[in-house]
Each structure stands twice: as C-alpha cells, then as structure tokens.
Amino acid sequence: MTVRINGADHDREPRPGQCLRTFLREEGCFGVKKGCDTGDCGACTVHVDGQPVHSCVYPAFRAAGKRVTTIEGLAPADGLHPVQQRFLDAQGFQCGFCTAGMIMTTAALDDDRLADLPRSLKGNLCRCTGYRAVADAIHGVRTVEEPAAGEAVGAGLGAPAGPQVVTGTARYTFDVDVPGMLHLTVLRSPHAHARILEIDATAALAVPGVRAVLTHRDAPERRFSTARHEHPDEDPYDTRVLDDVVRFVGQRVAAVVAESEGAAEQGCRLLRVTYDVLPSVLDPEEALLPGAPAVHGTSNVIGRLDDEIGSVEDGFAEADVVYEQTFRTGRVQHAALETHGAIGWLDERGRLTLRSSTQTPFLTRRALADLYDLDLDQVRVLTGRVGGGFGGKQEMLVEDLVALAVRTTGQPVKHEYTRAEQFTGATTRHPFTVRMKAGARRDGTLTALSLRVVSNTGAYGNHGPSVMFHGCHESISVYRCANKRTDAYAVYTNTVPAGAFRGYGLGQVSFAVESVLDELARRLGLDPVLLRERNVVLPGEPMTAPGSHADDLTIASYGLDQCLTAIRDAAAAPPADAPAGWLVGDGMAMAMIAAGPPGGHFADATVTLLGDGRYEIAVGTSEFGNGSTTVHAQIAADVLGTTTDRITIRQSDTDVVTHDTGAFASTGVVVAGQAVLAAAQELRARIDAGEAAPVSGHGHWKGSPRSVAFNAQWFRVAVDPGTGELRILRSVHSADAGRVLNPLQCRGQVEGGVAQAIGSALTERMVLDPGTGEVTTTGFRQYHLPSFADIPYTEVVFASTEDTIGPLGAKSMSESPYNPVAPALANALRDATGIRFTDPPFTSDRIWLALQAAAPAE
C-alpha cells in the first residue's frame, strides 16, 4: 500500500494485523511511542488526514492512501509548530515520553475543545508533571527564563534536551535501528509456586525464524538480586536469570529468541512445560505463622527490626490520650510510560553492550560482569533518555536475560515489556500493614510512639529489608519522643515482587503516623499544625528511631517551621465554594526524608574546555525527568561564567566516567551535582592559572554526610454524601528544598510527586486474585491512572533555606513531595465525614459504603 507519511510517500505492505504505531516506527518515525498498546495513554497519537488517532489501535492497512503526520512532520521546515514552541516555553514535560502524543492531540484541538481540556485530554496520560505544566503550555504561558552568563543558578531554565523532546527527536531506549536485531519474548508462570520438571521446546524451535529457546538449563547457577545498590549485600541473593522453581504467577519460565516478535510469541505459545505445583502463601501475616509454606526454603522473614528507645509502656502510662489503629497501604505500579526493556549486542571489540531503560547503568554493568564472570571492561551499559522511573528502574529486570540471549546467539537482541508484563512481571510498591499506637499529654507533647510493621516484599527480596528499615526511620525520627518502639518484618509471599518506589517505604509508614497524630490532635482539641510544632525535631537535636542507623545524617538546614507556617496560612484562608449539601473538610500532614541512602552514594564527573571554547560535562547520572541534567549545566555555567547553551552533556554511559551509583534515592542533584560542582571548580582554577585548552577538571562526591528535606501538604476537600465522590477544592504543598537551583523544575518535581501520590490515594490499585496471587489489573484502563481531569492545581511554597551540605545550598526534592499527600487526604476526609479511612485508595464507592455504615439507622 502507499501511505503519505510527513509529506513523503511510503510504499510497503503492512503485516497481517499490524497496527499503525509499529508500521510508523519501522519507517523511522521514532517519535511515535509505545505506552500501552490499548489506546489508553495517547503516547502514540498521530494525525490521519488531519484527525488525531491512537496509532496503537489503528490498523495500519486503514492508512492506505491517507496522509499521516507524526511529531517529526508537524513543524514547518524552518522552525517549530506553535504548539511545540509553547511546550518548550512552558517546559510542559519532564521525562518527555508522553510529550509527542500530547502535542499531536493539542495541535488538533479547536477553540471549543481547548476550552475543555479535562475532556479533550482524557486520552493522553502523563505520569511525571501533574499536568499543570501541560496546561500552561497549551494556554501559551511562558515560564522558562534566559539569564545572563554566570547567573543560571536560581533561574527557571529549560531542559537542555527540550528542543529534541518537543520535536520527537529525543532518543529513548528503543529509538534506534540495530541491524540484524532479534526479538526476545518470555513465557511466564501460571502458578504461584511450582517446580519445573520439563520444558519441551520441540514445536517452538520448529517455528520459522526462531533462533533459540532459553531455559534454566542455559542460565547461570549463580544467584543475584534484581535490586541495584552501591553495596550489593544490602539485598538477598535469591534470584536466577531463569529458575527451575517459580514463585509467583508471572515469573519468567523460558525465553524464545526469534527474527520477529511474532515468531517469538508463537514460539512461546508452543512451549510445553510440566510443573510440580507446590504449596504457596499469599498473605504476609500467614507467611509469618509457624508451618507456613517457605517461599525460599527457609524463613519467610528476610528483614526484621525489634528495638525500643526508652519505655513505651511507661510512655503510655504517662499519656492523657492514647490512640491505636491499623493501616494498610496496597500495591501501586510505577506506571512509567516507557516500559522496562533493553537492546544488547557485542560491539566491534566483542564487549557485551546493553542499551537499557535503567536508573543505574554502572551498577547494572557490575552485576552483569559478576553474573557472567566478565571483567568490567568487557561490559558497557548505556541509556538513551529514560521514559520515567520512580524507582522502578533501580532494578535489573531485563538486562540479565538479554545478555544471556546475546551471548547465546551472538546477535543483537531486543526485549521490551508489554504494558501487561509491566503489571505482572515488574515490581510494585511494597504493601504495608502498620499497627500504630501513640500517646500524648494534654498539651500535645508526645509520650510514646509504637509501630508494628509488616511489609510484603513478594516472591523475591529485592529492596525488601532496606525499604522496611527506611520506612520506619524518618517517619518517626522527625518527632521528638522519649519512648519509641518498632517491631517490623519484611516478609516473602508467593506474589509479584515489590521493589523501590518513590519515597522508599516512608509513604506507607507516614500514612499511619500522620493519621494517628491527626486523631490525637482531634481528641485533645488542638490544631493539627500546633501539635506537630510542639513535637517536631529542631536544629541541633538528634533524629532518633529504634534500631541502629548510620551516623552521617544531620539537619544541615531547617525549613520545617516555614513549611508548617505556610500550611497554617493556607488553612486560615476563606473556604472555597463547595457544591450545596456536600461535606467539606481540611487536612494536613508532613514528612522528612534523607538525601541519599546510608553507606555512601558515589558520583564522578568531568568538565572539559573544548577547542572551540565550549564546555562538555561528562557525568554518569541518567535523565528520566528528574531534571538533574538541567541543574548540572546550571552549576557548571555559573562556576565557569558562561551560559548553559555553551555546555554539552554526555551522561548515563559507563564509558563516560569512572563510576556513578545511579539516579535514585534523591541523589541526582545532591550527589552528582556535587561532583559536577567540584569538577567545574577545578577546571576554573586551571583556566585561571593559564593552562591551555582543551583542559579538564575532575570531581567526585561520596554522598556523605547527608542532610534532610522537609515537606508538608494541606488539602480542602468536599464529599458528596449521596455518591461518595471526593473533590479536592484546594491543594497547598510547602517544601524545604534548601536553595532552589531551578524553581521551575523543582516546582515540577513537587507537582509530579503530589499528583502521583493523589493517584495512589484516590484511584490506583493493583488487584491480585485472592486464590492464586495473579495480578488481574493488567492495563491502565483497569488500574485508573489519573488523567488531566483528576489532578487539581497545587500551590507550591518553598521555604527559604541554604543547606550546608548540598551543592550551592541545595537539597533533594524528587521523592519527598510524595510522602505527606495520602495522609493529608485521609485527614481531610476524616474532617469532612467523621470517618477514619485506613486503607487507600479512597474511591467513591468505598467512601459511600462507609458513609452508609456510619449513618444512624432509621
């Protein structure tokens, strides 16, 4: 067939059943993205004869004789389309994976549809921004600044890759054409726990195009953890590339490598596997019981904390008010629009090379070298631009299997998760059950805090112990209290594994802590802000929690008092209008988080003066909407007295610098930024000393000592008693980010964190079959990822502080905004309805049922 793509005729017959998205990508239109394959996210939006369509559900053959325009063909030859320019001027993106689809949808809107963005953008999802920046872009609000040379820090500069993002030329993991590439598809377990007795691959190997079938017999015997940390011994080594025992529905059983995805999928369907089904345990409390099926042949407890400061028994005896309640937080999917995946090959030197969607290229290289007995210099890992992470890509979920396939076939191999695999075979947030008990005197002074925490790590222990320990630390160490006790357990079950997720356990435990403190304030008749002010840790005071902890954590700047003042001011404002008859309530919560993990988080950087007078930064940190790239350029520009457009950046490639632990644990600015600052300062000194170009400066930072960041959230909500519908009337978030190096970008991080937390509090929930543990929410349509209409405008207020540890006074602000949101919503809901909701999400049906149960009988 002939189809006119971006003004040029393309003459090729599509494959039977092929969608327009894959057809266009095969024609080189990499701006057309894969986010869902079900028409739910809009990342693949293109114009067909001027009308926007989701190309993942549009049959390719229907484009015959039509004009198809992708993001690459939207702009005139001499510049940008007006919508592209507006998205650039407002920085209407973070990771940018959804941006091409957003722009294509927006470019087709008439005035009437522009006036109703909640309806017009219902088919386009963004996981990063919180949609405020998208609205600004559509409405033509310019927010990007252009400061003078040497004045970049403190200005709202745009991302260096912004022009590429808005034109669809930014290259993500799979936006490359690798000759001779094979495709890998995985057969996954239908059982929660079983031993594999036999895999018959005869029929699969007979499929034309199938090149290999990989099973546990082909995989290394060595075990590892999919979690990536600087110190690998933080996580249990309980995983094989392919195992002869499967421990959750969805685990990898075998892989088929073929010349096409269709052949690989057909090969998987023809594999015949004989299983010996084993006893399983799906509930973490049951997994703690004597005689429970052992997920890994030993105790199901892989992390435990039993410790006390003072005496909680004495503390409760001193209290005038005691409150105790159990809270449960469920599974949440990261839902990054770019799914997990990697392409691997052997380079011209025979090195194993992987292009991966990862937050940790250097740690992944080290893990692959260990797994396959290779020297580090025999492995290279690099990323393109990463389409969202949120902790989910602090894992090695695909690279190990791609490496096995490359080493087996000798050819390039691609493995890309489907959206369903992202739900069933990737990781989730850890479900927590927290029993919280607190006591206070009449004046609000806390006398005792007691936690019993059970964290469900799923079938594998990646991140399990560290998430549990971290969740139990800053959530209560932010409060002064002489008597604290924690009994916490990270527990195996035969369910989909949990892993790193924004907040790293603090969101789950803080939900309980902040809800209980709200109840104490109500019972004491105190303003909830006042109760916290009387108990929060102050500068110079120790931050204490049961258990042994690293001693490098300090309050290097203190803006929590300003954060709480901002919340008090918001609550004192006149109430917003609510629909007649609706119940209205206010609620707040706060949180503290450490900037970086204990034990060290390392980064190296090099800044070079090039022969043409420009500068180049080489740094290992990945860019996935975290914005560290922008700030690194700002830091170097100010030190060197130049503008950021004279700086290029090479990053997230193990060939670029010696080492970088990775872009996780809120370290992109405070660790890698310190390394860039040191490198730029050394270069400046060498230039000032008269050294000739090209000349370089080198920097290193070890991630210790560590500071803490503070956040507080306040909501005013309205609830319809007739339907249970909840509306957010006003949202205010105050943050202590130290010196804000880029206010535009930092505001976006806060808004994105608040939006993601609103999703987990109100709409998002992974559902597992209670009998098998199988994940039944396998797409966005069932999962209910928030759209434009679901997220309110959030007012962001920054405290005025300067940190003595972070680069140029900055503190981290990537994870921390997430943590106080769910409890603040629960507290507002409690204020409106009189009901304490203990297990989000607070969907309208659950709110209505609770209101009905609480209503007096007629």
Three-state secondary structure string covering 643-667: CHHHEEEEECECCCCCCECCCCCCC
Is residue 739 within 8 Å of 801, Cβ to Cβ?
yes
Chain centre distance of CA 473: 21
Q: How confident is the model at residue 741 (pLDDT cuts 50, 70, 90)?
A: very high
The encoded tokens of residue 574 equal 């006149």
- Per cent of the chain over pLDDT 90 is 97
**DSSP label at 438?**
E
Q: 67 - beta bridge partners?
A: 4
Give the three-state DSSP class for 390.
coil
What pLDDT, in 10s, does the model give residues 146-186? 999 999 999 999 999 999 999 999 999 999 999 999 999 99
- Per cent of the chain over pLDDT 70 is 100
- Dihedral angle of Cα 207, 208, 211, 217, to the nearest 10 degrees: 10
Q: Is the pLDDT score of 666 beyond 90? A: no
The CB density around residue 641, as the number of other CB atoms within 10 Å, is 11
Q: How confident is the model over 671-685, as a mean pLDDT? A: 97
Q: How confident is the model at residue 692 (pLDDT cuts 50, 70, 90)?
A: confident
Chain centre distance of CA 856: 43
Classify strands 301-309 and 484-492 as parallel, antiparallel or unpaired.
antiparallel
Angstrom distances, CA of residue 48 to CA of 56, 59, 84, 105, 631 = 13, 12, 19, 12, 39
Q: Is the pLDDT score of 113 beyond 60? A: yes
Mutual angle of helices 844-854 and 821-833, in 10-degree steps:
40
pTM score > 0.85 for this model? Answer: yes
Q: Which of 801, 738, 833, 820 is closest to 528 using CA atoms?
A: 820
Q: Is the pLDDT score of 858 beyond 80? A: no
The whole-number pLDDT of residue 619 equals 97
The whole-number pLDDT of residue 783 equals 96
Q: How confident is the model over 658-677, as a mean pLDDT? A: 94
Q: Which of 486, 480, 396 is closest to 432 using CA atoms?
A: 486
Rg of the chain over Cα atoms, rounded to whole angstroms, equals 26
The CB density around residue 220, as the number of other CB atoms within 10 Å, is 17
How far apart CA 261 and CA 37 sit, in angstroms, is 15
Is residue 109 within 8 Å of 47, Cβ to Cβ?
no
The whole-number pLDDT of residue 197 equals 98
Q: Which of 38, 49, 428, 461 is closest to 229 using CA atoms?
A: 461
Q: Classify residue 109 as exposed, middle or buried by CB count within 10 Å of its CB (0-12, 13-18, 19+).
A: middle
Q: How confident is the model over 343-371, as a mean pLDDT? A: 98
Q: How confident is the model at residue 760 (pLDDT cuts 50, 70, 90)?
A: very high
Angstrom distances, CA of residue 306 to CA of 315, 316, 484, 487 = 18, 19, 11, 5
Q: Is the pLDDT score of 774 beyond 70? A: yes
Q: Is the pLDDT score of 277 beyond 80? A: yes
How far apart CA 229 and CA 208 sit, in angstroms, is 41
How far apart CA 139 and CA 156 sit, in angstroms, is 19
Chain centre distance of CA 493: 23
Q: Is the pLDDT score of 482 beyond 80? A: yes
Q: Classify residue 242 as exposed, middle or buried by CB count within 10 Å of its CB (0-12, 13-18, 19+).
A: buried
Give the three-state DSSP class for 351.
coil
How far apart CA 520 and CA 783 sit, in angstroms, is 34
Half-sphere exposure of 697 (CA within 13 A, CB side): 24
Q: Which of 114, 123, 96 is closest to 39 using CA atoms?
A: 123
The whole-number pLDDT of residue 509 equals 98
Q: Is the pLDDT score of 576 beyond 90? A: no
The whole-number pLDDT of residue 237 equals 97
Q: How confident is the model over 247-273, as a mean pLDDT? A: 98
What pLDDT, in 10s, does the model give residues 93-112? 999 999 999 999 999 999 99
Q: Could you give the strand order of the β-sheet that contains 301-309, starting from the edge strand earlier in sequence?
A: 301-309, 484-492, 446-458, 432-440, 321-329
Is residue 773 within 8 Å of 192, Cβ to Cβ?
yes
Q: How confident is the model at residue 77 (pLDDT cuts 50, 70, 90)?
A: confident
Q: How confident is the model over 488-504, as a mean pLDDT? A: 98
Q: How confident is the model at residue 856 (pLDDT cuts 50, 70, 90)?
A: confident
What pLDDT, in 10s, does the model give residues 20-30? 999 999 999 99
Q: How confident is the model over 326-351, as a mean pLDDT? A: 98
Question: Alpha helices of 545-669 — where are they, by DSSP H?
Answer: 560-572, 628-640
What angle (nearest 5°) sits at the alpha carbon of residue 831, between those of residues 758 and 509? Answer: 50
The whole-number pLDDT of residue 391 equals 97
- Residue whose token pair is 């290279």: 380
Q: Which amino acid makes up residue 412?
A: P
Q: Which secondary-structure segment (H or E) carries 745?
A: helix 743-762
What angle (nearest 5°) sits at the alpha carbon of residue 624, between those of residues 778 and 84? Answer: 95
The whole-number pLDDT of residue 575 equals 82
**Minimum mean pLDDT range among 352-356, 517-521, 692-696, 778-782:** 692-696
The CB density around residue 121, as the number of other CB atoms within 10 Å, is 23
3-state secondary structure 783-845: HCCCCHHHCCCEEEEECCCCCCCCHHHECCCCCHHHCCHHHHHHHHHHHHHCCCCCCCCCCHH
Is residue 322 within 8 Å of 437, Cβ to Cβ?
yes
What pLDDT, in 10s, does the model give residues 282-331? 999 999 999 999 999 889 999 999 999 999 999 999 999 999 999 999 99
How far apart CA 63 and CA 348 sit, in angstroms, is 40
The encoded tokens of residue 199 equal 């895999």
Q: What is the mean pLDDT of the chain?
A: 97
How far apart CA 793 and CA 788 sit, in angstroms, is 10
